[in-house]
């Protein structure tokens, strides 16, 4: 008789609850594909009696997840709580130490403690799988670790956060401002009702960039400070002006090796409307890799939600059931390099600068003079009067300049009484 | 000391030769990622002394590949000859019987003998891997077998042949006719100089559809007759008219479960310019899967050429070196179903019909009457006079109708002296 593989699910929110149902529904399918029988033997969450979409079996509910590990001894544990530390970390490390395979969609945990936890998994000869932590249902981690394994990857970038992509798309389509569209996103369940900040400020996408870059470049997860900007300051006005310029605003996560130094960032980008990435709309995610010899590869799919997340969680499960014991980051921990980082100051882009100014003579020249002083050359200027307020909007598209230079150049505009607010800066992506 | 894994390459054309170089270049990388040392111990091809881009080590060259299997006993063999039968089949089956893992990009072989060969691999407890047989560098087979493993896939479709996609794209861009662009494609190495037929008539894409459908739906490779049309009859005129209608012509490969019956096809499709698939241009390939719960997933990348092909061959190698012994088609041979097939006659689409007619009264009504008789309703008609020849082009876009009905309806136009040639039919894809 085949041994039955015992499974525990810790955390029964949207994801954990959906996963519970999927595992029950797909038992037979999993058995056919892996040759192994599975059984859910334990569940744990904060609240046993909370109303859940899919009813759980309360006979296997335990309040303390650590006791599940020690007493029930499952073979495989799903961690779906989602904290970067605290109980999530404790559950995962205790499970690994007890030689229990762990599967998690927890990007906060992996991007922060992935090096430590993967070493722990290796030392205990079990798997730590986290496909669902990046880009939901898109199997991008497996693609990098396996499908493109021997390529020299030099860049990975894309739209890694469905919430912000939905908001930017919807602002453009509905002509409504950020706050209204955010409300809509919350009503639709695309943005967290309580605290949507981690999606909006780029943090969520950034955690994914850290994981992708560690995998793509075979290095330890970097800890250095990066340029991380979200979409909170994107105004409907910017979206409209971008539209006139045949551009779209997208929040991109980027990791790249530049002269053998690692560069990672998340910030809004202006991309051409006709490009592939300019046409990834709504809650869709897309990841683009550039590697040799394979060239450019694109993966697109639904980036969030319990369905796509479960798809990735179950693919991890199948991988473990099939006996594919692998290094969590593709290669052994001791082979993963510590890379040097690229100096953020040297990051160069064409810039979109929007100034709101008093409609007075000399204001435009004071701006262009300042740019000239910093050798930032202008590609395009559009000045539009805002009649009611006796002010004007000046949009300048510059040629390429470095972060440092741009920062120094723009600093002066903080204290210019003719410039009504500090200029909006959005980088162009080419 | 680690055992050295012995590798043989059979076939040293573009792909085999490039692979030879990649294996030598990436030895160290492969060792880091798999923990195994590899060594190329044998090569074989028709002609030992042919001039090749990358010099081979003639000391390990053998004329007879079967002797390599019997005498040198490699651990892993790459078959890169590319025939559907003959020596390719003999090499692969002999290797498998001798418990040698086989990796091949040979879609003709796998789509024809994949069931038999995968059973043979299973019986001998070795791997048969063929990631490179479909969509070059795109790891679509691994994605279906692993990344999306537990999804219920209902449809897989896409642009599976780079040659034809290049030709269609280039006809549109350069405004040149089929023959000229084919010549260009041959000069650039995108189409075979001798016999490009298998790309052009849809056969190559169709072999890939057969493999994809077997994997996606867990069935045996189907053998039934399908609608297979290539691009040989696509006229520059059709491309121009499509353009006016905001459409593009793409050769799509499609497999789909319709009412629990398998439908497979390859034919040119008119797709909207604004769709994702309408914007996959040049030699790019793209595969779209629709599954539950993951939703729609898109994979795009370079579909041909030695670089992308090697990327997939090496990913298969790594998979074997890492010890991932797997069923070639994801599940055990005896679990793969024989599915019922969908009746091609019932396949329904909106149609683009182009008639070249004598510019005489009554011709248009003879066409529309005939359509009406078969209850094919017309969505749009565009008639353009061709002044010089006293003739006219009539383009009709119909509402949905079945293959059978369309065929019966159109048959009469073969013998109508006012209709100068049998109408061109292109299906619209929605």
* Phi and psi at residue A428, to the nearest 5°: -85, 140
A333 secondary structure, DSSP code: G
Pick the range with the lowest mean pLDDT from A313-327, A342-356, B69-83, B214-228: A313-327
- Nearest by CB to A308, which of B139, B294, B314? B294
Q: What is the mean pLDDT of chain B?
A: 94
> Mean pLDDT over residues B98-116, rounded?
97
pLDDT at A387: 78
Q: Do B315 and A148 touch (CB under 8 A)?
A: yes
Answer yes or no: do B118 and B146 share one domain: no
pLDDT of residue B5: 97
Nearest by CB to B311, which of A139, A294, A312? A294
- B218 pLDDT above the threshold of 70: yes
**B1 pLDDT above the threshold of 60:** no
Give the span between the Cα atoms of B295 and B153, in whole angstroms.
9
In a domain, A339, yes or no: no
Asked if B298's CB is within 8 angstroms of A298's CB, the reply is: yes
- The pLDDT value given to residue A191: 81
Catalytic residue among A208, A373, A379, A400: A208
Does the interface predicted TM-score (ipTM) exceed 0.85?
A: yes
- A173 and A285 part of one domain: yes
With CA atoms as reference, the chain A residue closest to B146 would be A315
Contacts of A295 in chain B (CB under 8 A): 137, 301-302, 307-308
DSSP A136-194: TT--HHHIIIIITTTSEEEEEEEE--HHHHHHHHHHHHH---HHHHHHHHHHTTSS-SS
A279 neighbourhood in chain B, CB within 8 Å: 276, 279
Q: pLDDT by residue (tens digit) across B131-189? A: 999 998 999 999 999 999 999 999 999 999 999 999 999 999 999 999 999 999 998 88
Contacts of residue A323 in chain B, CB cutoff 8 Å? Answer: 324
Domain termination site, one of B83, B107, B129: B129
Look at residue B115 and tell me if it is in a domain: yes
Question: Is A277 in the same domain as A393?
Answer: no
Q: What is the pLDDT of residue A159?
A: 98
Same domain, A174 and A114: no
Whether residue B293 has a cis bond before it, omega within 30° of 0: yes
Strand positions, DSSP E, A22-159: 37-44, 76-79, 101-103, 128-129, 152-159
Name the percent of chain B lying above pLDDT 90.
90
Whole-number Å distance between alpha carbons of B227 and A140:
34
Query: Which is catalytic among the residues B89, B155, B208, B248?
Result: B208
B33/A330 Cβ within 8 A: yes
Residue B147 sits in the same domain as residue B120: no
Distance from the Cα of A285 to chain B's closest Cα (Å) equals 10
List Cβ neighbours of B136 (8 Å cut-off, separation of 6 or more): B162, B285, B301, B302, B303, B304, B305, B308, B309, B311, B312
A335 domain residue, yes or no: no
Q: How far is Cα A381 from Cα A392, in angstroms, rounded to an integer?
A: 13
User: Which residues of chain B lie closer than 8 angstroms to A315, CB-CB?
Assistant: 146-150
| Residue numbers in chain A where pLDDT is lower than 50 | 1
For residue A398, being part of any structural domain is answered with: yes
Burial of B126 (0-12, 13-18, 19+ CB in 10 A): buried
**Hey, are the CB atoms on A29 and B150 less than 8 Å from each other?**
yes
Q: Under 8 Å CB-to-CB from A233, ≥6 apart: which residues?
A: A424
Q: Which of B294, B317, B342 is the last residue of a domain?
A: B342
Distance CA A303, CA A305 (A): 7
Cβ within 8 Å, pair B302-A294:
yes
Q: Both A284 and A172 in a single domain?
A: yes
Q: How far apart are CA B347 and CA A408, in angstroms?
A: 64
Residues on chain A touching B53 (C-beta within 8 angstroms): none
Give me the pLDDT at residue B385, please. 87
Q: What's the burial of B85, exposed, middle or buried (CB within 10 Å: 0-12/13-18/19+)?
A: exposed
Contact between B294 and A276 using a beta-carbon 8 Å cutoff: no
- The CA distance from A156 to A135, in Å, is 13
pLDDT number for residue A194 = 75
pLDDT for residue B103: 98
The CA distance from A58 to the nearest CA of chain B, in Å, is 25
- Is A208 an active-site residue? yes
A30 and A99 share a domain? Answer: yes
User: Which is nearest to B313 in space by CA: B80, B51, B96, B48?
Assistant: B80
Same-domain pairing of B148 and B247: yes
Q: Which residue of B has its CA nearest to A23?
A: B150
Q: Which of B138, B279, B310 sits opposite A297 (nearest CB)?
A: B138
Give B288-337 pLDDT, tens digit per residue.
Answer: 999 999 999 999 999 888 999 999 999 999 999 998 768 999 999 999 99
What CATH number does residue A86 fall under? 3.40.50.720
* CB distance A363 to A418 below 8 Å: yes
What's the pLDDT at B2? Answer: 63
Q: Say yes or no for a CB contact (<8 Å) between B298 and A300.
A: yes
First to last CA, chain B: 59
Last residue of a domain, one of B284, B315, B342: B342
Give the DSSP H/E element, type plus range, for residue B159: strand B152-159
pLDDT for residue A215: 97
Residue (of B79, B101, B108, B85) closest to B6 by Cα position: B101
Residue A135 lies in a domain: no
Preferred mutation among A153, A295, A305, A310 to probe B, highest tally of B CBs within 10 A: A295
Binary contact (B146, A318; C-beta < 8 A): yes
Q: Do A33 and B293 touch (CB under 8 A)?
A: no
In a domain, A208, yes or no: yes
Say whether both B381 and B414 belong to one domain. Answer: yes
Task: Using an 8 Å CB-CB cutoff, list chain A residues near B315.
Answer: 146-150
Provide, as residue numbers in chain A, all residues whose Cβ is less than 8 Å from the Cβ of B307: 292-295
Instruction: Give the per-residue pLDDT at A178.
Output: 95
**What residue of B is the nearest CA neighbor of A293?**
B307
Largest CA distance in chain B: 88
User: What is the tens place of the pLDDT at every residue in A339-359?
Assistant: 899 999 999 999 999 999 998
Burial B225-253 (b: 16+ CB within 10 A, else e): ebbbbbbeebebbbbebbeebebbbbbbb
CATH of the domain at A354: 3.30.70.260
Q: Which of A18, A33, A295 sits opposite B302 (nearest CB)?
A: A295
A32 → closest Cβ in B137, B148, B331:
B331
Residues A253 and A267: their CA atoms lie apart, in Å, by 7
Residue partners of A196: CB distance under 8 A and separation at least 6: A163, A182, A185, A186
Q: Are residues A230 and A85 in the same domain?
A: no
Determine the pLDDT at residue B70.
96
Domain membership flag for residue B191: yes
Quickly list H helices, B276-322. 306-321
Probe site for chain A from B35, B53, B150, B299 (most A CB atoms < 10 A): B150
Residue contacts between A and B (CB atoms, under 8 Å):
164
Query: What range defines the domain where residue A45 resides?
Result: 4-129
CA distance A36 to chain B (A): 12
Same domain, yes or no, for A86 and A119? yes
Q: Do A301 and B291 touch (CB under 8 A)?
A: no
CB-CB under 8 Å, B300 with A297 = yes
Containing A256, the helix (H) or strand (E) segment is strand A247-258
Is A139 within 8 Å of B148 when comparing Cβ atoms? yes
CATH number at residue B268: 3.30.360.10
- Comparing alpha-carbon positions, the chain B residue that sits nearest to A136 is B294
Number of domains present in the structure of chain B: 3
**Are residue B56 and residue B202 in the same domain, yes or no?**
no
Contact state of B33 with A150 under an 8 Å Cβ cutoff = yes
Cross-sheet strand order for the sheet of A4-10: A37-44, A4-10, A76-79, A101-103, A128-129
User: Smallest Cβ distance to A148: which of B26, B139, B147?
Assistant: B139
Q: Does a structural domain hold residue B315?
A: no
């Amino acid at each position: 008789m085949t041994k039955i593989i015992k499974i525990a699910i810790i955390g029964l929110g949207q994801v954990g609850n959906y996963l519970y149902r999927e595992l029950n529904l797909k038992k037979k399918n999993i058995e056919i594909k892996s040759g192994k029988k599975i059984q859910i033997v334990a569940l744990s969450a904060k609240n046993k009696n909370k109303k859940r979409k899919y009813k759980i079996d309360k006979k296997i509910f335990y309040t303390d997840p650590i006791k599940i590990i020690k007493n029930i001894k499952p073979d495989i544990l799903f961690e779906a709580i989602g904290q970067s530390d605290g109980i999530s970390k404790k559950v995962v490390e205790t499970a690994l130490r007890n030689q229990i395979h762990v599967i998690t969609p927890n990007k906060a945990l992996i991007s922060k403690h992935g090096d430590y936890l993967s070493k722990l998994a290796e030392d205990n000869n079990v798997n730590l799988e986290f496909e669902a932590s990046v880009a939901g249902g898109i199997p991008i981690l497996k693609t990098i670790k396996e499908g493109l394994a021997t390529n020299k990857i030099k860049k990975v970038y894309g739209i890694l956060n469905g919430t912000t992509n939905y908001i930017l798309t919807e602002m453009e389509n509905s002509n409504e401002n950020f706050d209204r569209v955010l409300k809509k996103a919350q009503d639709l369940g695309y943005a967290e009702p309580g605290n949507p900040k981690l999606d909006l400020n780029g943090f969520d996408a950034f955690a994914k960039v850290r994981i992708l870059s560690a995998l793509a470049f075979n290095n330890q997860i970097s800890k250095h400070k990066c340029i991380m900007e979200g979409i909170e300051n994107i105004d409907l006005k910017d979206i409209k002006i971008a539209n006139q310029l045949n551009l779209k605003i997208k929040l991109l996560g980027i990791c790249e090796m530049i002269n053998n130094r690692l560069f990672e960032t998340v910030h809004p980008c202006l991309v051409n409307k006709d490009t592939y990435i300019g046409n990834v709309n709504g809650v869709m995610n897309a990841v683009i890799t550039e590697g040799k010899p394979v060239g450019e590869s694109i993966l697109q799919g639904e980036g969030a939600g319990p369905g796509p997340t479960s798809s990735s969680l179950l693919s991890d499960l199948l991988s473990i059931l099939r006996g594919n014991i692998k290094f969590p980051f593709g290669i052994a921990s001791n082979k993963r390099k510590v890379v040097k980082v690229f100096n953020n100051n040297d990051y160069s882009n064409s810039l979109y600068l929007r100034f709101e100014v008093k409609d007075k003579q000399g204001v435009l020249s004071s701006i262009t003079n300042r740019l000239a002083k910093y050798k930032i050359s202008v590609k395009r200027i559009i000045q539009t009067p805002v009649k009611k307020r006796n002010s004007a909007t000046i949009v300048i598209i510059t040629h390429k300049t470095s972060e440092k230079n741009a920062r120094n150049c723009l600093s002066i505009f903080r204290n210019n009484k003719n410039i009504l607010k500090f200029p909006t800066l959005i980088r162009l992506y080419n």
